[in-house]
Amino acid sequence: MIHQDKEIKTTKNKSKPSCCCSHDEPVHTENDGHDHGHDHEHEVEGSLFKMFLPSIISFILLLIGIGFDNYFPQSWFSGYVRIAWYVIAYLPVGLPVLKEAYESIVKGDVFSEFFLMCIATIGAFAIGEYPEGVAVMLFYTIGETFQGMAVSKAKSNIKSLLDQRPDEVTILKDNNAVKIKAKEAQIGDIIQLKAGEKLGLDGELLSDSASFNTAALTGESKPDTKKKGETVLAGMINGNTITEVKVTTAYNDSKLSKILELVQNATTKKAPAELFIRKFAKIYTPIVVYLAIAICLLPMFFVDNYVFNDWLYRALVFLVISCPCALVISIPLGYFGGIGAASKNGILFKGSNYLDSISKIQNVVMDKTGTMTEGVFKVQEVIIKPDFDKEEILKLVNVLEGKSTHPVATAIHNYVGVIDSSVELKNVEEISGHGLKAEINGKQLHVGNFKLLDKYKINYDIDPGSVVYTTIAIAYDNKFAGYLTIADEIKADAPETVSKLKYLGVKVTMLSGDKTNVVQFVADKLGIKNAFGDLLPEDKVNKVNEIKAKNETVAFVGDGVNDAPVIALSTVGIAMGGLGSDAAIETADVVIQDDKPSKIAMAINIGKQTKKIVWQNITLAFVVKAFVLILGAGGLATMWEAVFADVGVALLAILNAVRIQRMKF
């Protein structure tokens, strides 16, 4: 099919003329500060007119020809004049298809749909059925044009992301504002953002605070207030004050750049249904061509009153009916629509195969911190043994936690304050799933969970299970020094997420490296029955393997580096893309941009609806075509029925496919 291998065009400000066989649409930028609204409307109107112009010309000439044939007979409208009239009516819509057929044959693909349409329409001319020959090609072209419009509509949600990175940024050099290409900005440059401007690169906010519209990254225009030192991302739109941002990531490495790359590559990973239809069409099309030849010639040996033109007409009708347009376009379009609908809601699928996979998910296994909870911790209690200097211990803990980017470390920094740079650490080591250790003043400092103390055989005199909150154990000089308790808030939409997943018939399990009693406390609040804590990364892998051993599909949702292995192992890996680590995002099959767990259920629902629409289209196309093929072979269907079976069914399938973009999930 002419659209199935089209790639998303990523080069800005390039377009090519549209015809029945080419439906690429221009990509516009809004980075020069001008209002393109009216220009864009006129350009769209002009583009639509150009797309339909060949069909309009053919349609007018066809109507006049039919009028002269049947309603307003003209003596001059006969013989070569009549033939020439219909040939002229045929050429605007027929030439592009003849060209496509020729190019396909040159490439070795003889049995393309273009070849079928050319044989059928030229054959109609050969037996004197000129109006029908023009009509078949005309309606085929109109169908192709509508298909192109549907594909463009499906792409629009994804292509809109291309407008979210400005081509230019304003940087401060010697206190002067200078405009440069965004690609030329260096790490460490200071970007000045005026009200309403989009940020071109990821960076660190230097202003005391600023409000940003994050619609480009999250699908929602709700303002997000950032404070000095917090990370701001490319694509965010500045609020109503002049803001300064220090560039921390190269242009091509920004989160939005990675998101664009993920989406642009999404169409290369095909769902099983798409792959099947491609293979099916390659086998199916030659078969129907040979069957058409058989319908035309074989009756010669068995029918007494054999008339070549009659059986050729039946064969041509058979060819038109058998054209696999509805299947070949509507199935990829269904998946493309699903990807577009998901991206509009801040969910990125890296391929249509994952849309298919997520629709079959039976288990959702999720991390706790940063996935179902905010990942923003606050210190609740500080319990330090009397034998130790509380301020000194907290100072040392703060220095050691300065080596970590974990949310717990941030909570400790916020509580203790500025890190004392005079403290020297030696042999700093992070023990995965346990915590940190280092040597200070010749003594060992351990900060982490109680498993860390168990690992180094350090005795403690409390029961970790008796503390509900997350507990950070501290040992100094191989002696238990005390602990901190840290609390995390459950995300507002987390309970709704669990409820929706249960409604979809999905089993929910929570896995966490946090204390079992903390995990169970959160799980109880969310209504999750299966919850496990005190897990190392390899323990999470084992838990997922246990579920997969039951021949059940698993989606794992996480956000941290330590979640990457289990994300890779699961049937569908889902990463939280806002706060999530790059490792988790790159490993995942689906990325949720705004970190909202409710999007997990939405992603599954989009997958289910997409699959339902695809199978509706497959069933519709096969049933209608099989019925009309039988009628055509028996001489009971004319070219008009053939046109309905081909173009009509294709249009119905397309209209069904684009429904998903209008659905509310």
- Which tops the pLDDT comparison, 516 or 87? 87
Q: Is this prediction's pTM over 0.85? A: no
- Which tops the pLDDT comparison, 385 or 259? 385
Query: Looking at residue 38, what is its pLDDT?
Result: 46
Query: Looking at residue 446, what is its pLDDT?
Result: 96
- Estimate to the nearest angstrom the gap between the alpha carbon of 615 and the chain centroid: 20
Query: Looking at residue 445, what is its pLDDT?
Result: 95
- Work out the mean pLDDT of the chain and round it to a whole number: 80
Quote the CATH superfamily of domain 347-373+491-606. HAD superfamily/HAD-like (3.40.50.1000)
- Which tops the pLDDT comparison, 160 or 565? 565
Q: What pLDDT band is residue 640 in, cutting at 50, 70 and 90? A: confident
d(CA 278, CA 284): 10
- Sequence spans of domains, the chain: 166-253, 347-373+491-606, 374-489
| Measured CA distances, 254 to 260, 333, 517, 530, 558 (Å) | 10, 29, 38, 37, 20
Phi, psi of 112 (to 5 degrees): -90, 170
Neighbour tally for 250: CB within 10 Å: 14
Active site residue 367: yes
CATH 3.40.50.10420 describes domain 166-253: no
> What sign for the dihedral angle of Cα 223, 369, 397, 562?
negative
Which residues, including other chains, have CB under 8 Å from residue 616's CB and lie 6 or more apart? 656
- Of 97-106, 274-283, 402-411, 452-461, give the lowest mean pLDDT range: 274-283
| Measured CA distances, 577 to 19, 410, 523, 560 (Å) | 39, 19, 23, 10
Asked whether residue 463 carries a pLDDT value surpassing 50, the answer given is yes
Average pLDDT over residues 583-587: 66
**pLDDT tens profile 207-244:** 888 888 765 555 454 567 788 888 888 878 887 788 99
Average pLDDT over residues 449-473: 89
Pick from 323, 299, 309, 288: nearest CA to 634:
299
Query: Looking at residue 14, what is its pLDDT?
Result: 34
Quote the CATH superfamily of domain 374-489. Calcium-transporting ATPase, cytoplasmic domain N (3.40.1110.10)
Hey, do 166-253 and 374-489 end up sharing a CATH topology, with the first three levels equal?
A: no
Q: What pLDDT band is residue 562 in, cutting at 50, 70 and 90? A: low
Long-range CB pairs of 63-72, under 8 A, 24+ apart, other chains included: 65/89, 65/130, 65/131, 65/134, 66/131, 69/131
Tally of residues, the chain: 665
Average pLDDT over residues 107-128: 82
CB 582 within 8 A of CB 333: no
Q: How far apart are the first and last CA of the chain?
A: 30
- Helix or strand holding residue 280 (H, E): helix 272-297
Of the candidates 24, 202, 356, 367, the residue annotated as catalytic is 367
